[in-house]
Structures are given as C-alpha cells and as structure tokens.
Amino acid sequence: MEAETIKQTHKSSQKAEHISGSEAVIKCLLAEGVGILYGYPGGAIMPVYDELYKYQDKIHHVLTRHEQGATHAAQGYARISGKVGVAIATSGPGATNLITGIADAQIDSTPMVCITGQVGSHLLGTDAFQETDIIGISTPVTKWNHQITKASEIPEVLAKAFYIAKTGRPGPVLVDITKDAQFELFDFKYEKCTRIRSYVPVPKTDKKALKEAAKLINNAKKPLIVWGQGVILSKAEAEFKAVIEKAGIPSAWTILGASALPTSHYLNIGMVGMHGNYAPNVLTNDCDVLIAIGMRFDDRVTGDLSRYAKQAKVVHFEIDPAEVDKNVKTDVAVLGDAKASLKSLLPLLNKNSHKDWHQKFKDLYNIEYEKVIKNDLHPTKEGLTMGEVLKEINTQTKGEAAIVSDVGQHQMIACRYANFNKTKSNITSGGLGTMGFALPAAIGAKMAAPEREVVAIIGDGGYQMTIQELGTIFQQKVPVKIVILNNEFLGMVRQWQQLFFDKRYASTEMTNPDFVAIAKGYFIEAKKVTTRKDLKAAVKEMIATDGPYFLEVRVEKEDNVFPMIPTGASVSDIRLE
Amino acid sequence: MSAQIIYTVSIYTENNIGLLNRISAIFQRRHINIESINSSVSEIENVTKWIMVVKLSEEQMKKIIGQIEKQVEVIKAYYHTEEETIYQESCMFKIKSNLLFDERHIQNIIKESNSRIVTVNKDFFVIEKSGRKEEIDLLYRELNVFGIMQFTRSGRIAVTKDEMKISTMLAALQH
C-alpha cells in the first residue's frame, strides 16, 4: 500500500497537524501534486480561499471570470497534460455554474475534481442563502460525488476523489464541503487512495478474447480501425502505432481520438462521423473486420445504427464494460486498458500491408479532394474559407500547435484540416458540444503546457458565450492565440436550416460587436483580416507574438461543412455537397 | 423492440447516502418505471442489498446492469427472471373492527389466505400477509368488498435459486 503523509512530502508543514478543514483541503491538493487550480470565490468557500492566500507560493489559483470558465480551464489543463484538472467554487450559483463543464468532462471522460463550498451543516435543507443541493444536481453528470460535513472526512474523501477521477475511464468528481467543516480543527493525516473495494477501474483482459481478436484481424482482407480518445487516455500511442504498422490497417479517428497518431502518418485515413472524411465513412460499410479501440460508437460516429458496418465482424477494445454492445453489437470484446491490450496484441498479429484495400481509401480521398477539400483549402472565390485559415495556421505552426476548438462549423473544419504532429493536440468539446468551451479551455491548456503553442479556434457565436475570460487571459498573462472565424452566423445551425428547414434562418444571424476593440480593451494585441492577401502576414504576426494575441478572420457568411451524414442516414450515404 | 419482461434486479452496494439517487437516475433517463424497490442489509457485513423490480426488454436490462455496475459504490448487480428467484412481498390492511364480527366471512378469508392478525382494538384491526403479488392482489379484492380503511404493500424481496458468488468475489477483492 502506497501511503504517504503530508509530513513526508512537505517538510515545511511539520507544525502541528491539528489544522482546519480548509487548510487540509490545500494540503490534500498539494499531496496530489496540484500546482494550479481554477475558480471563483464566494461566501461558502471563503475559508478555503483564505488558505489559498496563505499558500499562494505553493499553489496557484487562477481567478476566472465565471465558474463555467473555471471548469473548462480545468478541462483544458487535464486534456493536454493527462493530469487531473481542479476547479473550485462557492455554493449555490457558484456550484450550479460548474455543471456545464462537469457534464462536458463526464461525456468526454476528462479527469477533473471540483470542490464546492456549502452552507453550514446546520443550515442544510433550510433553503439558506446560496444553498443548493449540488450533490443532487451533479449526480447524473459526475463519476462520483460526496458531501463533507466534518473536517475529519476531508483527507479520505479528497484522496478518493482524485483516485476516482483519474483511474479507469476518467471523469469528473465533485466534493461539496460545508462551511463549518472548513473551519473545524482536526488531526490531519493524508494517505493516497489506491483501492476502493466496490470499484474496478480496469477490467481484467481475457487472453482468449485477445487471441480471437488477433485471429479475426489476421484473417481480415479489409480491416478498418476506428480509434478514440481511449488511446490517448491510456497513453497507448506507441503501442497503437506499432499495432497498425505491423498489421498494415487503415486507421480512422473519432473527434476525440485525433492527434494520437500524426496526421501525416501513412495509415491515418482521417476522421469518421457526421463531418468526417469520405473514405473511412463509406468504407465502414465495406470493411470485413471493424476494430474499435477506445471509442464508444457515438451516434455522431455511426449514423443510422441499423445500417452501420452490418457486413463486418466487430472487435471492440474497451476499458468500460458498459460501452460494450451498448450501440454496436461486438463479435469480440477485449476489455482492459488500451495500452496493455495493444501491447499483448502486437506479438499475435501477422505482418500485412493490405495494398488493394488501401487503394480504395486513396481513390475515395481523391473524390473528396476534388469535391470538397480543394475548395476549402485553395478557394478561388472571393470570400475567405475557414479551411484556408486552418491551412495557414498549419503552415506557420508546422503542425506543432495544440488546437483548442469550440463547437460548430469551425470545429469541424479545425478537426478536419488541422495538422497534428503531437498527441493531446486536439482539445475540443466532443460529446456535449459545449459552445463557449474553447476560450477558457485554451487558458488551462496553455498553463499546463507553456512550452506548447496553443491556438484557440472559435466561432463568433461560441466566443461570446465565454468572452469574459479575456479578463483571465489579461490578468494571468496567458499567451494563448485566439482565432475567431467570424461568419456572423451561428453557422452550423444555419447550415441545417438551409438544408433541412428551407432556409428559414431562425435566430442564427448575429450582429456582432467590434471584437478587435474588445480584445484591445483587455490590452490584448488584436487584428482583423477580411481579405486573402492579408491572411498569411496576420497569422505570422500572431504566431510570432510572445503574449496573447487575438485574430479575427471574416470568412464567407454562408459556407457549409461537407462531407455530411444527415441525421438518420447511414455512414455510406455521406453527402459531398 | 423485443418483449418486455419483469426482472428482479439485485444490487450489492456500499451504504451511501446519494446512491439511491444515482441508481434511480439511470432508470429515469431511459424512461423506465421502477415497479418496486427495497433496500436492506445483506448476507455480507457492511454491504447493502437492493431488490428492484422493473419491466423492460432483456437488451435494455443488460445495458442498464452495465450502467449500474459502473457506479463507483456498486459492488455487483444481477438481474433475474421470475423463474430464477424466490420472491415475496408483504402487505397490511387496516379494517373496521365491527366487520370482524358482523361479516363472519372475513375470518375465513384471513384463515384461507394465511394472513395474520397483528392487532385488534375496538375501532380497527390490522392484518398482515406475506406472499406473491397475485396472492396479495387476491386478498385485496376479497377484503375490498367490505371496505378497507388503509392498505399498504412493501416492495419485493427476493433470493435467487442459484448461488450468488458475491461473497467469494468480495473476499477476493479484500486482498
């Protein structure tokens, strides 16, 4: 059992272990290696903030401008670093403002610990000022949550919180602490949690299943891999690459799986799903063995399930047993951690290249290139396309940047066209589709990985949902690069209105403010580009700038994102126009 | 959609305040009504056992068991058909005392149904019966003719015909 007390890890705190609950919270965070957390103070969490003040040389608290921003920043931090992100807020509205970020982290399996203050325990259930049942509210969107009413519970519960958040399939955990528990003095001792008897983070891998999977893969004539974020979460990038290279299998990614394999890799055949690439979508319904790795067959990936890969044998590598057979019936399920499973799979695989099968992907790519990609990346019309902005960012960052995208058309374009050389480079709200995610998530990402270029790509709609976080960027001097692709529309909804609602553009057109002036109001360098000839220089200036930078690009108002699988259609009915 | 079947769900859990909310939300999200629910201590020390009765397709049932087991504080969850369990529920009737003497047939009903008189006073008497749902339904119909002051029935409790390997599993987990 790995047990360590704070005394051992932090020699400076050898004074009496008889401390307050709120000081204990900080000591727990330090023991878990938390150096940075995001939050917003308020009445019920003030004792903890008082300790944050005293411990400010050891732990950096980032004041966001809204609690939702704190959760997204914590998510960005977690997604780029693989570590647990931490957000903190007060009771009542502070706590409820966390919910969107928590739900986002839950559906995207992001490790996060949220700490909320709560009214004094004698006031629980009395409708006290700023009292809300945050445990009840957060239950369906957390992996685990717990309310603390006694200081003595703090070490054990926080240790459990971090253990649960980061192990197995990661997720968000919320710990609610009453104000009296924060004040209460008690004898503090911290032991990391390494086991919970009712919790099996990683199911045992069945050797027989692994052998059956290998047999199916070895006998396949037209195998197709679809990988998801599981590859990144289990740090299995190298094992994954070794497997696909040995077996020569064309491999496509889900939106959250992006960047686990470099974009330029010869076996990387692009994105699956609603706005994914043509070839992997069409050939999903042609492959003979479909190998899913660390993904969950989201409806945006599969389209109509009754016409999804029905001809194929399905092999599913998965850490969460509840995902197996949830949407797509599998022939062989290999439970376990992707890293370990792929490592064991490798020696069982035969070397292969599947040349003819690869050619099919190339042929379909050429069709997509002619119909879609060429016009997106090398447009001949006057208006700027989102795609050419991405191409320019690729060129100037040499594909080394982490791209943080919001939700909507620009997100699909960013994911389709960004070049990813490094893993953990595509930070976006996949499952929940949370507009307003990108700006605060970029803050967290940049603070977790200051050595990396972090470029936030945001639409004019989503940007205005969390625009106040410019204040955080300014105050904390976070050198993120912000690119707004402004089409003066809620573009994705407008696209659907055009295609499925006879162009009735209900409440999707936006009259926008002077974004450059707003950024400058926060003393952030800013520029606006409206013509193609100015794009290159502007992106260059942005990348060359040391501090934060804001770039607004006015793009064509009514461009659509293609390819597209309409709702209810099969993946192979994907439309190119 | 495959056929809807009545399933008895047994869930072994830690004794935790918020867990009921977490489990019931799994059913609520999928618009599935919980027919009955009972929570008690189990055969294992410090382990709570819940018995739930739900009506759904086997496919839904399997997926929901997966979602239940995924909860951190759930140790193990099982589902069983009616044939695989021995189950009982319990009920109580409060009836006016004078009926006991005026309507002699009530005494026969009590005897034949294997019910038990819990208490009698000058105003009312209370009878209790344990049994299967159909037996309790029958007793209700029979007594309802005479008028029932109060009626209540418990959720189902059940044990399985086959052995549940939960104890061995838990013992293995302890190390």
Neighbouring C-alpha atoms within 13 Å toward the C-beta of B142: 18
Note whether residue B175 is domain-resident.
Answer: no
Note whether residue B163 is domain-resident.
Answer: no
Give strand pairing partners of B95: B125
Helix axes B105-112, B133-144, angle to 10 degrees: 180
- Return the pLDDT at A9: 45
Chain B interface mutation, best of A198, A204, A316, A325, highest count of B Cβ atoms under 10 Å: A198
Taking the C-alpha atoms of residue A237 and residue A224, their distance in angstroms, rounded to an integer, is 17
- DSSP result, A518-538: HHHHTT-EEEEE-SHHHHHHH
Domain check: are B100 and B133 in the same one? yes
Domains A6-187 and A382-554 share a fold: yes
**Residue burial A34-52, b: 16+ Cβ < 10 Å; e: rest:** bebbbbbbbebbbbbbbbb
Residue of A nearest to B14 (CA): A198
Q: Which residue has the higher pLDDT, A373 or B42?
A: A373
- Return the pLDDT at B79: 96
Note whether residue B168 is domain-resident.
Answer: no
**A-B contacts (CB, under 8 Å):** 46
Interior angle at CA B132, CA B128 and CA B135, nearest 5: 70
Note whether residue B25 is domain-resident.
Answer: yes
- Return the pLDDT at B170: 73
Positions of chain A with pLDDT under 50:
1-14, 16
Note whether residue B170 is domain-resident.
Answer: no
Taking the C-alpha atoms of residue A335 and residue B125, their distance in angstroms, rounded to an integer, is 58
Question: Are residues A24 and A155 in contact, defined by beta-carbon separation less than 8 angstroms?
Answer: yes
Domain check: are B76 and B9 in the same one? yes
Domain's final residue, options B19, B53, B80:
B80
Domain check: are B13 and B75 in the same one? yes
Taking the C-alpha atoms of residue A160 and residue B95, their distance in angstroms, rounded to an integer, is 52
DSSP class of B171: H
Question: Are residues B147 and B103 in contact, defined by beta-carbon separation less than 8 angstroms?
Answer: no
Helix axes B58-70, B19-29, angle to 10 degrees: 150
Domain check: are B37 and B101 in the same one? no
Chain A residues whose CB is inside 8 A of the B75 CB are: 197-198
Q: Out of 3.40.50.720, 3.90.1150.10, 3.40.50.970, 3.30.70.20, select the CATH number for domain A382-554.
A: 3.40.50.970
Percent share of chain B, pLDDT over 70:
97
- Return the pLDDT at B155: 92
Burial class, A26, CB count within 10 angstroms (exposed 0-12 / middle 13-18 / buried 19+):
buried
Domain check: are B19 and B70 in the same one? yes
- At the fourth CATH level, which superfamily is domain A207-361? TPP-binding domain (3.40.50.1220)
Which CATH number does the domain housing residue B62 bear? 3.30.70.260
The answer for residues whose C-beta is within 8 angstroms of residue B20's C-beta and 6 or more apart is B39
Residue of B nearest to A325 (CA): B63
Question: Are residues A498 and A560 in contact, defined by beta-carbon separation less than 8 angstroms?
Answer: yes
Computed over its alpha carbons, how large is the radius of gyration of chain B? Answer: 20
Question: Are residues A405 and A428 in contact, defined by beta-carbon separation less than 8 angstroms?
Answer: yes
**Residue burial A499-510, b: 16+ Cβ < 10 Å; e: rest:** eeeeeeeeebeb
Taking the C-alpha atoms of residue A38 and residue A75, their distance in angstroms, rounded to an integer, is 10
Taking the C-alpha atoms of residue B69 and residue A319, their distance in angstroms, rounded to an integer, is 13
**Mean pLDDT of the region B145-152:** 96
Neighbouring C-alpha atoms within 13 Å toward the C-beta of A60: 10
CB distance A322–B63 less than 8 Å?
yes
Distance from the A169 Cα atom to the nearest Cα atom in chain B, whole angstroms: 10
Range of the domain at B105: 88-153
Domain's final residue, options B80, B114, B139:
B80
- Return the pLDDT at B174: 59
CB distance B72–A144 less than 8 Å?
yes
pLDDT grade, residue B165 (50/70/90)?
confident
Domain check: are B67 and B28 in the same one? yes
Distance from the B106 Cα atom to the nearest Cα atom in chain A, whole angstroms: 46
- Return the pLDDT at A14: 46
Domain check: are B58 and B93 in the same one? no
Instruction: For residue A170, give the nearest of A125, A93, A226, A104 by alpha carbon.
Output: A104
Neighbouring C-alpha atoms within 13 Å toward the C-beta of B31: 0
Domain's final residue, options B55, B80, B105:
B80
- Return the pLDDT at B45: 86
Give strand pairing partners of B86: B159
Taking the C-alpha atoms of residue A200 and residue A404, their distance in angstroms, rounded to an integer, is 32
Domain check: are B117 and B60 in the same one? no
Note whether residue B135 is domain-resident.
Answer: yes
Question: Are residues B32 and B47 in contact, defined by beta-carbon separation less than 8 angstroms?
Answer: no
Which CATH number does the domain housing residue B136 bear? 3.30.70.1150
Other beta carbons less than 10 A from residue A299's beta carbon:
14
Domain check: are B10 and B71 in the same one? yes
Is the predicted pLDDT of residue B2 greater than 90, yes or no? no
Other beta carbons less than 10 A from residue B168's beta carbon:
10
Domain check: are B10 and B33 in the same one? yes
Question: Are residues A27 and A158 in contact, defined by beta-carbon separation less than 8 angstroms?
Answer: no
Note whether residue B169 is domain-resident.
Answer: no
Active site members of A: 67, 129-130, 179, 492
- Return the pLDDT at B173: 63
Domain check: are B101 and B73 in the same one? no
Omega within 30 of 0 (cis) for the link into A170 = no
Domain check: are B106 and B72 in the same one? no
The verdict on ipTM greater than 0.85 is yes
**Mean pLDDT of the region B52-79:** 96
pLDDT grade, residue B1 (50/70/90)?
low
Please count the structural domains in chain B. Answer: 2
Please report, for chain A, the start and end positions of each structural domain, with discontinuous segments joined by +: 6-187, 207-361, 382-554
B22 reaches A (C-beta below 8 A): yes
Q: Which residue has the tokens 């969850």?
A: B77
Burial class, A158, CB count within 10 angstroms (exposed 0-12 / middle 13-18 / buried 19+):
buried
Taking the C-alpha atoms of residue A148 and residue B103, their distance in angstroms, rounded to an integer, is 57
Q: Out of 3.40.50.800, 3.40.50.970, 3.40.190.10, 2.70.50.60, select the CATH number for domain A6-187.
A: 3.40.50.970
Chain B residues whose CB is inside 8 A of the A141 CB are: none
The distance of Cα B74 from the centroid of its chain, to the nearest Å, equals 19
Residues B94-119: tens digit of each pLDDT: 999 999 889 889 999 999 999 999 99
